[in-house]
Amino acid sequence: MKIIMLGAPGAGKGTQAKQIAAKYEIPHISTGDIFRANLKNGTELGKKAKVYMDQGLLVPDELTCDLVMDRIAQEDCARGFVLDGFPRTILQAEALTKALNNIGQAMDYAIDVDVPDENIVNRMSGRRACLNCGSTYHIVYNPTKTEGVCDVCGSQTVLREDDKPETVQKRLAVYHEQTQPLIDYYKKQNILKTVDGTKSMDEVFSDIVAILGE
């Protein structure tokens, strides 16, 4: 099963993608996590990506596409995968369609987690991330057991630099301009499914399972 998670930053793509990956036993591929891991490890890619990420801008397509194409060609993706944060531009979507076409495959579902802008700022300002293992929390909706400490690995959780309100506004504008057109792109491919992302995390997941099947 090959799935794309669509939605604004903070809509809950990562939260749902992790659960989908666990239930259907497929890898969760988050380009944001890949960039952050590169940043943490001080790679050239990480340094280049940081310049864009800090400003709430998209990392250029040429740095993003090859990375994803290499990842989905790995053996653990043979049974499918869930993409979270990719594609984010029409050019990325076309590159993905083409790469899969070349091996006689296609994406199965594009799930749009729909959350209005008004809810996004609240989601993002409350999000806490563990930069060590990539776990994500929310101070109200999904808090850590001990404040500021990751439940999974015990590292400190932080407000991501790009989750500060000034940058969130920029990221939302970039989303509407460059990523939202993908909704139509996948509608035309007949694989778009929309879920109401304002519901609780468990309800959203049930709605997704109803689409994907038990």
Q: Which residues form the interface with ligand AMP (CB under 6 A)?
A: 9, 31-32, 35, 52-53, 57-59, 64, 85-86, 88, 92, 162, 171
Q: Which among ligand AMP, ligand ADP, none contacts residue 127 (Cβ within 5 to 8 A by kind)?
A: ligand ADP
Q: Which among ligand ADP, ligand AMP, none contacts residue 28 (Cβ within 5 to 8 A by kind)?
A: none
**8 A C-beta contact, residue 34 and residue 139:** no
Question: What contacts 61, CB < 8 A, 6 or more positions away?
Answer: 89, 91, 92, 95
Q: Which among ligand ADP, ligand AMP, none contacts residue 86 (Cβ within 5 to 8 A by kind)?
A: ligand AMP
88 is catalytic: yes
160 is catalytic: yes
C-beta of 111: minimal distance to ligand AMP in Å?
A: 15
C-beta of 181: minimal distance to ligand ADP in Å?
A: 18
Cβ nearer to ligand ADP, comparing 2 with 160: 160
- Binding positions for ligand ADP, rule: CB under 6 A: 7, 9-15, 123, 126-127, 136-138, 141-142, 197, 199-201, 204
Measure the N-to-C terminal CA separation of the chain; round to a whole number of Å: 12
- The string of DSSP codes covering the chain is -EEEEE-STTSSHHHHHHHHHHHHT--EEEHHHHHHHHHHTT-HHHHHHHHHHTTTPPPPHHHHHHHHHHHHTSGGGTT-EEEES---SHHHHHHHHHHHHHTT----EEEEEE--HHHHHHHHHHEEEETTT--EEETTTB--SBTTB-TTT-PBEE--GGGSHHHHHHHHHHIIIIITHHHHHHHHTT-EEEEETTS-HHHHHHHHHHHH--
Q: Which among ligand AMP, ligand ADP, none contacts residue 135 (Cβ within 5 to 8 A by kind)?
A: none
Residue among 13, 36, 123, 128 flagged as catalytic: 13
Cβ nearer to ligand ADP, comparing 75 with 118: 118
**Nearest residue to ligand AMP on Cβ basis:** 32
Q: Which among ligand AMP, ligand ADP, none contacts residue 27 (Cβ within 5 to 8 A by kind)?
A: none
Residue among 2, 123, 127, 128 flagged as catalytic: 127
123 is catalytic: no
C-beta of 105: minimal distance to ligand AMP in Å?
A: 20
Give the Cα separation of 23 and 78 in Å (integer): 16
Catalytically active residues, by annotation: 13, 88, 127, 160, 171
